[in-house]
Structure 1
Amino acid sequence: MAHVDAIFLDMDGTILRLEISTAAMNATREKLRQLFLEHGIDKTFRPVLATIRTSLQVLTERGAPADAIGRQAYRILDELEEDGAAHASICTGAETVLMDWHGSGRQMSLISNNGRAAVKRALTTSGLSPNMFTSVVSRDDVICEKPHPEPVLKALRQLELLTEGASIVMIGDSINDMRSARAAVATAPVRMSIATIAVGEQIHQDLGTEAGLVDRHAAGWMDLPQILDDLEA
């Protein structure tokens, strides 16, 4: 990878953290459980997004009003996220590195499974300028969120980088970030490359047999500039 055309970044857990308590998360899961229970689906909503998606698929197959129920479900989730975004904090070292990359002309795209309102509020609360990012892709901007390739492919189109030979770096803290990046390369209509960088320790435990999804590991943000330099060497 001689030159990185753009850096794609996850938000929650990678750049900043939404402050969501266990009690608030459990209350949201129970609200979702009650909503879907009214339509014959009893789930624990762990994980939340994936369970909402699969439950809506079941309702669609049954001929139930999945669109209306989906709007209610995502409103419940939006409320949780926006409350957490109101107290968002920047991950250690992220602001310095992001400002350096932005100042040097790096193209950056923020790709989040959070809703658009929560993304905007989290950036505002944390003091990060949305202008740092050439594009922002939220859950509300796609039909299928990560690990589906759609969010990464959408960011590529927004940056006009869905082109032969484009080189992208994906930085995230979850296995779904890595899966989305790899799936985008596999389904892109042109040959391109994406190097994946995992940030933090939790992802090591989650990868299991999928360790090959990650090209580089960073203990924290201060490791990332050197890793990027190494990729471009």
Structure 2
Amino acid sequence: MLKALIFDMDGVLVDSMPFHAAAWKKAFLDMGMEIQDRDIYAIEGSNPRTGLPLLIRKARREPDAYDFETITSIYRQEFKRIFELKAFDGMKECLEVLKTRFLLSVVSGSDRSIVYGIVDRLFPGIFDTVVTGDDITNSKPHPDPFLKAVKLLKVRREECVIIENAILGVEAAKKAEIYCIGVPTYVEPWQLDRADLVVGDHKKLMEHLLSLEPALRFRI
């Protein structure tokens, strides 16, 4: 029986990844490196501990030569400066309906302060649990963030559905052995082909979610 829906935040609930990308690019430029939007989108869902080494190597540099905390501090300051808070159209109303049927959770690789700042402002009282990048050691594509949400929700994996827009997020969902719906917000649909279902856009995503009933069963 379907009991819980687990949402990624950036790119699923809020249109925030362009701001994350711009902030990371600024931080890297300040450190004498250049990275591309596509490189940032490819590691969406990871936290700085695991994502920064990948980005630094994309810039053809060695991670050991850089202080991660300095880069992350520049990114945080720039993100807070430029970020424009905006949920995807209809998402808040969709979640309000879904909350009457299911337990709801957010799982994000972003910092705790960023995640709670967004959730508290846009979706107050909606989510039963929130898991941030600060709450786990192994970020996406490891299954740990989603498994932590399952544990906090006090449900079984087969009673959950994950909604993801990121390549690493879909990989994490499948490693957790949880049914996954992919929405290709910033990547091509084929890049999410490991998901159990890929919907074309947010309008189709919300239509599908609102059609779900608690009695549905999903096979992994």
TM-score normalized by the length of structure 1: 0.71
**CA deviation profile, 1:105-152 (whole Å, cap 9, x unmatched):** 411110112111111222344x321x2111111111112222221111
Maintained 8 Å contact 1:43/1:51: no
Q: Once the two structures are superposed, what CA deviation does each residue of 1:137-178 show, in whole Å capped at 9, x if it has no partner? A: 1111112222221111111121123x4x63210112122221
Cα 1:137/1:14, change in 2 over 3 Å: same
The one-character-per-residue Cα deviations of 1:49-71 (angstroms, maximum 9, x if unpaired) are: 55414469953xxxx8x8xx333
- The residue number in structure 1 matching 2:123 is 128
SS at match of 1:148: coil
**Aligned partners of 1:82 and 1:121 also within 8 Å:** no
Corresponding residue SS for 2:163: strand
Aligned to 1:198: 182
* Counterparts of 1:166 and 1:173, CA distance in 2: 20
Amino acid of the residue matched to residue 70 of structure 1? F
Separation (CA, whole Å) in 1 of partners of 2:151 and 2:21: 37
RMSD: 3.2
Partner of 1:155: 149
User: Displacement of 1:199 after TM fit?
Assistant: 2.1
Equivalent in the alignment of 1:138: 132
Matched-pair contact (CA < 8 Å) for 2:110–2:132: yes
CA distance in 2, matches of 1:93, 1:58: 41
Give the partner amino acid of 2:19: I
Tell me if the contact between 1:110 and 1:136 (Cα under 8 Å) persists in the aligned partners: yes
Classify the secondary structure of the residue corresponding to 1:108.
strand
Give the SS at the match of 1:222.
Answer: helix
TM-score (norm 2): 0.74
Aligned to 1:219: 201
Greater helix content = 1
Higher relative contact order (CA 8 A, sep 6+): 2
Q: Pairwise mapping of residues 27-176 of structure 1 onto structure 2 (< 5 A)?
A: 27-31=26-30, 33-34=31-32, 44=35, 46-47=39-40, 49=48, 51-54=51-54, 59=64, 69-85=67-83, 87-102=84-99, 104-125=100-121, 127-129=122-124, 131-161=125-155, 163=156, 166-176=158-168
User: Structure 1 residues 228 and 124, CA, compared in 2 at 3 Å: closer, same or farther?
Assistant: same
Separation in structure 2 between the aligned mates of residue 213 and residue 98 of structure 1, nearest angstrom: 21
Aligned AA (1:213) = A
Per the TM alignment, residue 205 of structure 1 is displaced from its structure 2 partner at its CA by: 4.0
Q: Where does structure 2 lack aligned partners over 5 or more consecutive residues?
A: none
Distance 1:182 1:154, change over 3 A: same
Give, as a single letter, the amino acid of the residue that structure 2 aligns with 1:94: M
Deviation, structure 1 residue 211: 1.4
